[in-house]
Amino acid sequence: MVYSVSKVNAYIKNMFMQDFVLNKISVEGEVSNCTYANSNHIYFTIKDEGGTLSAVMFAGQRGGLSFDMKRGQKVVVTGTISCYEKEGRYQLYANKIEEAGKGDLYEKYLQLKEKLEDMGMFDQRYKKEIPKFVQSIGVATAQTGAVINDIQNVSYRRNPYVRIVLAPCLVQGDAAPKSIISAIKKLDKMNLDVLIVGRGGGSIEDLYCFNDEELAKTIFNAKTPIISAVGHETDFTIADFVADLRAPTPSAAAEIANFIYNDYMYTLDVYNRKLTEQVERKIDYVKRDLDMLLIKLNTLSPQIRIREQKQRLENFAKILQNTFKNNLENKKTALVNLSKRLDTVSPLKRLSGGYAYISDNKNNKVLSAESVKPEDELNIYFSDGKVRAKVL
């Protein structure tokens, strides 16, 4: 006989309903993957070291929960185990949930956190600064999956020239801590600018490999700045506390690590233009100052002053020469005028009119005939010469 899937699921559900133990059962375990839906239903998982069990508390049963249930808490869930026919999956339908104390994994997490905090491994003074202009990024995560793809996509979108080096490692399970440690040590030797260590979201047990003490020490002792990006924003691991910077998600880590290349080039161009303008203005100021200094130096230069004095002397010489020449001309003109005046009253002028001038041998003037006697020698002056005569 062949059965349909729905009939098989219905048959299994009926078996659960007829089981005296499963109809009312109390199960103790650690809460994992707790989700409060908009419908007021609570979907969660309880687990121990040997396995996990899916559970749900419907909105109508919320009165059986008196505290805010969170992941990592140890609880006792009372209800019925039955089969969800649509998916052929069995789960615990909770009527009542009581807090049984904190889960073992969470307790270990808190103990390690307190220990490392007391050692000072979370102190801000030990945090290395993330470089502003990262050119190379090391990534320690799974070789395939959304994490490395998100980091690459975000990084290349912001800076197409960034170099990304992947060191593949396990990010879940008992062997994961040693694998992550090996990847970090490998990347730390490559002189990269920054490292990103992380994985996507998951349950507390999925992320628990990042709560390893040796891994924390490896992150703390690394010479390269490390950004942790484990799980989602609400997930906190020991690696987050000891890392130099925590990012809420791997994509956010890539945003933090990479500067926007185009913005950087634009800013660089703006600064370059401003610097060029400042330098040009400074050169203009210096040239103007130099020109002023040259003018001042020229005014104080001995050669310039000698040249100026020489020019002044030449000007004075010309003035003196012109003055002397003018005075000489004036004197000459005065002499000519005086000569003309003298000529008008000169005895020679009168002699040229037919008169004569007579003097004796002693050059005494002879003014009348009575003043001479016979045999006296006389000098007779005419306008054109002199003759000697003797009185008869």
The answer for residues whose C-beta is within 8 angstroms of residue 131's C-beta and 6 or more apart is 193, 194, 225
* Tens of each residue's pLDDT in the chain, 392 residues: 888 888 888 888 888 888 888 888 999 999 988 999 999 999 999 998 889 999 999 999 998 888 888 888 889 999 999 998 888 889 999 999 987 755 677 788 889 999 999 999 999 999 999 999 999 999 999 999 899 999 999 999 999 999 999 999 999 999 999 999 999 999 999 999 999 999 988 777 788 899 999 999 999 999 999 999 998 877 789 999 999 999 999 999 999 999 888 888 888 888 889 988 998 898 888 888 888 888 877 777 677 777 778 888 888 888 888 888 888 888 888 888 887 777 776 666 666 666 777 888 888 887 787 888 888 788 877 777 788 888 77
Report the CATH number of the 108-123+131-259 domain: 3.40.50.2300
Closest CA to 29 of 100, 92, 91: 100
- Assign 3-state DSSP to the chain and report helix, strand, coil percentages, each to 5: 50, 25, 25
User: What phi, psi does 331 have (nearest 5°)?
Assistant: -65, -40
May I ask the CATH class of domain 5-102? mainly beta
pTM comes to 0.53
